[in-house]
Chain A
Amino acid sequence: MQEIRTVTVIGVTGTMGANVAGIFASFGNCRVYCVGRDLEKVKRTLPRIVKSVRADAIAKNLSPADFASLEACVAESDLVFESAAEEMPLKQAIARRVAAALQPEAFSCTGTSGLSIHTLAECYPEEARRRFFGVHLFNPPYSMPLCELTATAWSDAQALEALKEYLEKRLYRTVVQVKDSPAFLANRIGFQFINEALQYAERYRDHGGIDYLDAILGSFTGRAMAPLVTSDFVGLDVHSAIVHNLYENTHDYARESFVLPSFVEKLIAEKKLGRKTGSGLYQRVTYESGLKRQLVYDINGGIYRDVIPYAFPFAEKMRRSIQEGNYRQAFACLVTNHSQEANICRRFLLNYIVYSLHAAGEVGYSLQAADDVMAAGFNWCPPLAMLQALRAVTDVSTLMRESLPEVCAQIDVDALLAETEPSRYDYRPYFRSGRHA
Chain B
Amino acid sequence: MREVYILGGAQTDFERNWKKEGKNTVAILKEAMDDGLSSAGVTYEELTALNEQNRVACFVGNFIAEKYTEQGHLGALLTEVHPAFYGVPSARYEAACASGSAAIDAAQTKIKSGDYDVCIVVGWELMKTVDSRTGGDFLGRAALYEKEAKNIDFPFPKLFGRLADETLRKYAVLDEDRYMNALAAISTMNYANAKRNPLAQTRKWFMSLEQAQTRGTETNPLVGGRLAASDCSQVTDGAAVVVLCSEVYLKEKGIQAKPILRGYGHRVAPMLFEKKMAENADSPYILPWTRRAVLDAYGRAGLTVADIDVFEAHDCFTSSEYAALSAFGLADPGREYEAVESGLISFAGEKPVNPSGGLIGCGHPVGATGVRMLLDLYKQVTGNAGNYQVKDARHGMMLNIGGTATTNYAFVVSRA
Contacts and interface: CB of A to CB of B under 8 A. Distances in A.
Query: Are A and B physically bound partners?
Result: yes
A396 interface: no
B27 A324 contact: yes
Contact of B210 (A57, A326, A426, A428): A57
A433 B22 contact: yes
A53 B28 contact: no
Contacts of A266: none
A437 B214 contact: no
Interface string A337-378: 000000000000000000000000000000000000000000
B275 interface: no
Nearest to A430: B21
B378 interface: no
Interface in A35-76: 50-51, 53-58
B109 to A, nearest CB: 30
A326 B81 CA distance: 10
B134 interface: no
Contact of B28 (A26, A172, A325, A431): A325
Given A172-B195, A429-B13, A55 B22 contact: no
B252 interface: no
Interface in B28-43: 28-31
A323 B208 contact: no
Interface size class of A (residues with CB under 8 A): 20 to 34
Nearest to B218: A56
B30 A432 contact: no
A26 B23 CA distance: 34
Given A55-B211, A56-B219, A428-B31, A437 B24 contact: yes
B219 A142 contact: no
A322 B23 contact: yes
B170 interface: no
A319 interface: yes
Contact of B21 (A26, A29, A429): A429
Contacts of A208: none
B219 A54 contact: yes
A387 B235 CA distance: 33
B20 interface: yes
A26 B206 contact: yes
B217 interface: yes
B204 A172 contact: yes
B22 A432 contact: yes
Nearest to B213: A57
Contacts of B208: 26, 29, 55, 57-58
A324 B204 CA distance: 28
B375 to A, nearest CB: 17
B13 A323 contact: no
B204 A432 contact: no
B214 A57 contact: yes
B225 to A, nearest CB: 20
B144 to A, nearest CB: 32
A435 interface: yes
Contacts of A429: 13, 16, 21
B22 A324 contact: no
Contacts of A325: 23-24, 26-31
A434 interface: yes
Interface string B111-152: 000000000000000000000000000000000000000000
Nearest to B34: A325
A322 B22 contact: yes
Interface in A1-52: 26-27, 29, 50-51
Given A56-B219, A324-B30, A437 B22 contact: yes
Contact of B204 (A51, A145, A326): A145
A50 B219 contact: yes
Contact of A56 (B19, B20, B31, B220): B220
B22 A56 contact: no
B18 interface: yes
Identify which of B195, B217, B219 gathers the most chain A CB atoms within 10 Å of its CB. B219
Nearest to B208: A57
Contact of B23 (A51, A142, A224, A323): A323
A436 interface: yes
A300 interface: no
Interface of B: 13, 16, 18-24, 26-31, 195, 204-208, 210-211, 213-214, 217-220
24 contacts: A27-B206, A54-B219, A55-B211, A56-B211, A57-B210, A142-B206, A143-B204, A224-B20, A319-B22, A323-B22, A324-B26, A325-B23, A325-B24, A325-B29, A428-B31, A429-B13, A429-B16, A432-B20, A436-B19, A436-B22, A437-B19, A437-B21, A437-B22, A437-B27
Interface of A: 26-27, 29, 50-51, 53-58, 142-143, 145, 172, 219, 224, 319, 322-326, 426, 428-429, 431-437
Closest 5 CB pairs of A and B: A325-B27, A433-B22, A57-B211, A325-B30, A56-B217
